[in-house]
Structure 1
Amino acid sequence: MTNPSRRHFLGMAATVPLATTGALALGAGTAHAADSAYAMVYFTESNTMLEANYNLHLAVSTDGLRWTPLNQNAPVATPTLGAKGLRDPFLLRKQDGTFVVLATDLSGTDWTRNSVYIHVWDSTDLRTFTGYRLLKLHDMTTTHSWAPEAYWDASRGQYGILYSSVNSSGHNVIMVSYTTDFRTTTNPQVFFDPGYDVIDGNLTLGVNGVNYLYYKKDQTLVGARSTTLNPGSFTPFSTGVAHGGTEAPTVVKSLTGNTWFLWGDTYTPNGVFYAWQSSDLASGTWTAVDQKLYTQPLNSKHCGIHPITSTEYTNLIAKWGAPAWNRLKSYNYPARYVRHSGFAGRIDEYPFDPFPDSQWKLVPGLADSSAVSFQSVNYPARYLRHYNYALRLDENDGTSTFAGDATFHRTAGLADSAWSSFRSYNNPTRYIRHANYALRIDPVSTATERQDATFQVGY
C-alpha cells in the first residue's frame, strides 16, 4: 500500500454531563456540556520531507475548522521506545475525564516494518504527558498495528482499541483489542472485514441509536453502521467521498449546531486535509466544505481531534503559545498562500517546500508603527516590499524609501470584512493583490480585484 497509515479523531467523553446532541452513548467526538473548543494531535511531513517530524504535535481551535498550532508547530512529546517515532496520533478523553494519546509505532514510511505495539501517553490537561509506554495489541508478528483509535464500550465496561492489520486472507481489516487501563489488552479479534482491504477505522457512537464507522477503501472514505458495537456487526452504507487519494477519516460534530464534519487526508507525504459536512449522518451523504472556511496546521498529517473546554483551550495557549509567525491565505484561491519564491512575492498552492517561504512575522510597519511590515521567517533580514509595483523580498537597507515600500496599512478585507486587505503606505491608492499568482500593488475597483486583494491572516 502507499502511505497506508492515516489516523482519525475519535473521542471519548468524560463522566461529566453530556450535551444532548443526539449522541446517546459515549463515543468518538462526544462532547460534554462544558466543551467549547477542540484539540488536534498530528505529526508532520512536507513535499521534500523538509518537515518530516514523527513526534506528537498539538493544535487548538475554537470552531474545529481554523487551527492554531502550539509550541511553534514543534513537538510537545517525543516517543523514545519501539521505532522511536509515531504516525497517526489519536486523542481520547477517558471516563475519568483525563486524556490518553495513542499512536502508530512507526517512524517514517517503512511500511514493511511490523509492530504489535502502539505508543501511549497519559495526560490530565494536555500540558504534560506522562506514563509513556508501548502497549501490545496482539501476537500477529507478521503484520502491523496501524492507526489506533479507542472508544468506550459500555456493555463490556471496557475500552475498545481499533487498529488496522492484515488477516489470514491477506488484506487489511479493522481489528479490536479490549482494555480497561491502556496498559494491557485482551481478546484481539476482527472488528470489521467487508471482504476487501480497509484501514483507518473511525467510530462515532450512539447517534440516534446508531454507531457509525468510517474507513478508507480504495483511497476513498466510506461509512458503515450498526446498532451495536459487536465485532462483525457493521454494514457499509454511505456514498464514498474523496479528493484525490484520501484516507484518515475523522468525524467531528460542531459544538454550536447540528453539523457533522468529515475530515480526510491525502495519502501522499505532502498531505492536505479536506473537509465535508452533513446535517444527517444517517443519510450517508456529504457536501464539500469551502476551503476558505478551514485551515490545517502547517504540514500536519493524519490528525486526531477531540472537544475540550474553554479553560483547557486557554490553558493550552498559555502553556505552549501561539505561533510567532503567520500564513496568508488567498480569498479567491484558498488553496494558495502568500510566499516568496526566488525572492519574488506570489501565491502558490499548498503544500510546497521550502515551507518557511510562506511564514511571515507581521511586525510594526517600518515607516509607520500603526501599520505592518512582512518580515520573512527564513530570511529575517528581508521584508516584502513593492518595487515598480511588483512585490519582492529585499534586505532592509535602512532608507526611508525602503521603509515606505515595505509598509502597509491593514484594513478590513475588501471582499470579506472578516478577512484582511493591505493598503500601500506610500502609494495609498494601491493594495496588495495577486495577478496571475504574482503579488503586486494596484488600484482596486472591480469585484475580482477586491477578491484578489483579500487575504486571511492565520497559521
Structure 2
Amino acid sequence: MKRRTLLSAAGAAVVGGALARPGTSMAATYGGYAMAYFTESPTMAAANYGLHLAVSADGLNWTPLNQNNPVATPTLGSRGLRDPFILRKQSGGFVVLATDLNGTDWNYQSQYIHVWDSTDLRTFTGYRLLKVHSLATHAWAPEAYWDPGRGQYAVVYSAVTGGHNVLMVNYTSDFVTASAPQTFFDPGYDAIDGDFVSVGGVNYMYFKNNTNSTLLGTRSTSLNPGSFSQYTSGIGPGRGVEAPQIVKSNTADTWFMWGDTWSPNGRFFCWQTSNVAGGAWSLLNDRAYTQPLNSKHPGITPITATELANLTAKWGAPAWNRVKSYNFPDRYVRHANGVGRIDAYPFDPYQDQLWTLVPGLADSSGVSFRSVNYPDRYLRHWNYALQLAVNDGTTTFKADATFSKVAGFADASWTSFRSYNFPDRYLRHSNYVLRIDPITSGSSTTDKQDATFRIGA
C-alpha cells in the first residue's frame, strides 16, 4: 500500500512506478498526494473495509474524500480489504492492491489479493483477485514497484513460511497473472509490511519487526530477493507501530515516514529526516500533521496538482470539520455528556468531534459550531463554560453560540475564537474542558496556547 521510489539501472529515480528524469525535482511533477486506507475506531464503530481516499497538498495534513466513505468496495473473496496500496503504472494510470481480509479474523487465509485498475483514481475498473501463492497462509499488505532490471512489476507481501512471516515476492506484467512466489526477505523472525525507497543509488526497505512492533531499515544496492541487510535499530514512538510508509516532500529535501498503531485505535505517527542513508528519524509533534478520520494502514502516492483538484471535485471534501488543540495536538474539540472539551484521538463515538461550522447564529460573519450527530444542538457558553445545547431560538442563545475567527494567539496560521457577546473572552480549554476567558496580547503563553486551534477535516 506504499508509494515506491526506486532506482533504475541508469540512475533515474522511479517515483510511484513512473520514471523521473535525473535532475528533475519531484516538485516539477507533483503538487500533492493521495492516501488510500480503511477505517476502524476503538470500539470498531467506524469499521469499514472498503477503499477510502484522502488528499493532501503538503503530505502532512489530510482531507478525506467522499465524506470518509469508501470509493470502491470488494465483492470477491472475503468482500473486505485491509492495507490498500496505490501504484502509478509505467503506462500511466494506477493499480490498487489490497489484502483480502474483511475485519480482524487473523486466521483467515487467502491466497489472493484484491486488484483494481484506475486511470485517475476517480473511477475503478477491472476489479479482480490475483492469486499470489498456493500456501496455507495469508497474503498481507501487498505492495508493488517496477523492477527495471526484470522489466516487470514486483509484488511484495507478507506470508508465513518456515514458521514465521517473511516478505514474499511475485513478478507480473499485468497484475492478472503472476510468477511463482519466492522469499524476498527473511530476517529469521516475524517480518511484515515492507516499504521501499531509493536514494543516491541505494535501495532502502523499511518493515515491521512483528515480534516487538518496531520499524527497521534495511538496504541493498540491488532489488534482488535476499539482498537487503539491516542498517538501523528499531524505530518506535514508545508503543506498538506498523505499516511504515516513506514519502518524499514535493518541495524540500525532506522525507517523512508514517507508522500506524497496530491496534484498532488507528493513531498515526510521523517521523522526518533529510538523510535516509543515515537512518536517523525524528518523531514529529502531532501539531505538524493530521491524519484522515479513523484511518488505518495508509498507502500514499504523489499526484499532480491537476489530479489533486480533480479528485476533490469528483469525491468532494467533508461537509464537517474537526478542531485540533494547539498545545495538546493529539486532542480534538468534542462534546461528551453535553460538555464541550478536548479529548485524545481516537475515541468513540467518533462523531462527537465532527462539527458543521455554520454562519454565526447572531452574526453571519462569525461561526457557530453545530454538532453533526446532534444537528439541532450547538456549542454555546453558559456561565462561561461551553456546553452542547438545543437551539431555543432566543437572542441570548444565538449570541452565546456565535464566535469570530481571528488569527491564533499562539500561531497566526491557526485560529482563535472570540465570543460574540463577551468580546474580551475567547474559547480556550482548561483541564481539557472548554470555556471562554479573557485573553490579551499580554496573557501568559499557556493561556494563548489554550486559546489556539486548527480547523481541519
In structure 1, what is the equivalent of residue 10 of structure 2? none
1:304-453, aligned counterparts within 5 Å? Answer: 304-444=299-439, 445-453=443-451
Q: Do residues 237 (structure 1) and 221 (structure 2) align?
A: no
Q: 1:16 to 1:260 in 2, by over 3 A?
A: closer
Whether contact under 8 Å (1:327, 1:458) holds in the other structure is yes
Q: Report the alpha carbon displacement of residue 46 of structure 1 after superposing the two structures with TM.
A: 0.2
Q: In structure 2, how many angstroms separate the alpha carbons of the residues matched to 1:126 and 1:110?
A: 29
| Structure 2 residue corresponding to 1:303, chosen from 291, 298, 301 | 298
Q: Report the alpha carbon displacement of residue 194 of structure 1 after superposing the two structures with TM.
A: 1.0
Which letter maps to 1:377? V
Q: Do residues 269 (structure 1) and 264 (structure 2) align?
A: yes
Equivalent residue of 2:123, what SS?
coil
Q: Report the alpha carbon displacement of residue 20 of structure 1 after superposing the two structures with TM.
A: 3.3
Q: Report the alpha carbon displacement of residue 240 of structure 1 after superposing the two structures with TM.
A: 1.9
In structure 1, what is the equivalent of residue 11 of structure 2? none
Question: 1:386-407 deviations in whole A, cap 9, x for unaligned?
Answer: 0000000000000000000000
Q: Report the alpha carbon displacement of residue 13 of structure 1 after superposing the two structures with TM.
A: 3.7
In structure 2, what is the equivalent of residue 454 of structure 1? 452
Q: In structure 2, how many angstroms separate the alpha carbons of the residues matched to 1:20 and 1:118?
A: 36
In structure 2, what is the equivalent of residue 4 of structure 1? none
| Structure 1 residue corresponding to 2:181, chosen from 166, 188, 197 | 188
1:18-417, aligned counterparts within 5 Å? Answer: 18=21, 20=23, 31=26, 33-140=28-135, 142-167=136-161, 169-205=162-198, 207-217=199-209, 218-243=212-237, 244-417=239-412
Which letter maps to 2:166? V
Equivalent residue of 1:186, what SS?
coil
Which letter maps to 1:177? N
Q: Report the alpha carbon displacement of residue 446 of structure 1 after superposing the two structures with TM.
A: 1.4
Q: In structure 2, how many angstroms separate the alpha carbons of the residues matched to 1:252 and 1:138?
A: 29
Whether contact under 8 Å (1:81, 1:133) holds in the other structure is yes
Q: Report the alpha carbon displacement of residue 239 of structure 1 after superposing the two structures with TM.
A: 2.8
Whether contact under 8 Å (1:47, 1:270) holds in the other structure is yes
Q: Report the alpha carbon displacement of residue 274 of structure 1 after superposing the two structures with TM.
A: 0.2
Equivalent residue of 1:450, what SS?
helix
Which letter maps to 1:278? T
Q: 1:274 to 1:451 in 2, by over 3 A?
A: same
Q: In structure 1, how many angstroms separate the alpha carbons of the residues matched to 2:381 and 2:364?
A: 18
Query: TM-score of the superposition, structure 1-length normalised?
Result: 0.95
Gaps of at least 5 residues in structure 1 are: 1-6, 23-30
In structure 1, what is the equivalent of residue 9 of structure 2? none
Which letter maps to 1:210? V
Q: In structure 2, how many angstroms separate the alpha carbons of the residues matched to 1:18 and 1:300?
A: 33
- 232-241 or 115-124: which moved more? 232-241
Q: In structure 2, how many angstroms separate the alpha carbons of the residues matched to 1:382 and 1:403?
A: 12
Q: In structure 1, how many angstroms separate the alpha carbons of the residues matched to 2:130 and 2:242?
A: 24
Which letter maps to 2:159? S
Equivalent residue of 2:226, what SS?
coil
Q: In structure 1, how many angstroms separate the alpha carbons of the residues matched to 2:438 and 2:190?
A: 55
Which letter maps to 1:394? A
Q: In structure 2, how many angstroms separate the alpha carbons of the residues matched to 1:18 and 1:297?
A: 32
Equivalent residue of 2:180, what SS?
strand
Q: Report the alpha carbon displacement of residue 15 of structure 1 after superposing the two structures with TM.
A: 4.6
Which letter maps to 1:305? I
Moved beyond 3 Å, runs of 4+: 7-22
Q: In structure 2, how many angstroms separate the alpha carbons of the residues matched to 1:16 and 1:222?
A: 27
Q: Report the alpha carbon displacement of residue 270 of structure 1 after superposing the two structures with TM.
A: 1.1
Gaps of at least 5 residues in structure 2 are: 6-14
Question: 1:322-376 deviations in whole A, cap 9, x for unaligned?
Answer: 0000000000000000000001000000000000000000000000000000000
Q: In structure 2, how many angstroms separate the alpha carbons of the residues matched to 1:418 and 1:39?
A: 24
Q: In structure 2, how many angstroms separate the alpha carbons of the residues matched to 1:17 and 1:227?
A: 19
Q: Report the alpha carbon displacement of residue 17 of structure 1 after superposing the two structures with TM.
A: 4.2
Alignment RMSD = 1.2
Equivalent residue of 1:166, what SS?
strand
Query: TM-score of the superposition, structure 2-length normalised?
Result: 0.95
Equivalent residue of 2:216, what SS?
strand
Equivalent residue of 1:262, what SS?
strand
Whether contact under 8 Å (1:383, 1:393) holds in the other structure is yes
Whether contact under 8 Å (2:16, 2:145) holds in the other structure is no
Q: In structure 2, how many angstroms separate the alpha carbons of the residues matched to 1:378 and 1:262?
A: 34
Equivalent residue of 1:149, what SS?
strand
Q: In structure 2, how many angstroms separate the alpha carbons of the residues matched to 1:16 and 1:131?
A: 25
Q: In structure 1, how many angstroms separate the alpha carbons of the residues matched to 2:345 and 2:16?
A: 34
In structure 1, what is the equivalent of residue 8 of structure 2? none
Whether contact under 8 Å (1:409, 1:424) holds in the other structure is yes
Question: 1:182-230 deviations in whole A, cap 9, x for unaligned?
Answer: 000003100000111100011113x111001100012001110000011
Q: In structure 1, how many angstroms separate the alpha carbons of the residues matched to 2:142 and 2:373?
A: 36
Equivalent residue of 1:362, what SS?
strand
Give the fraction of aligned pairs with identical amino acids, expressed as a percent: 65
Question: 1:413-445 deviations in whole A, cap 9, x for unaligned?
Answer: 011000000000000000000000000000112
Q: In structure 1, how many angstroms separate the alpha carbons of the residues matched to 2:376 and 2:31?
A: 40
Equivalent residue of 1:35, what SS?
coil
Q: In structure 2, how many angstroms separate the alpha carbons of the residues matched to 1:68 and 1:385?
A: 27
Q: 1:143 to 1:32 in 2, by over 3 A?
A: farther
Q: In structure 1, how many angstroms separate the alpha carbons of the residues matched to 2:22 and 2:301?
A: 14
How many residue pairs are counted as aligned between the two chains?
442
Whether contact under 8 Å (2:27, 2:251) holds in the other structure is no
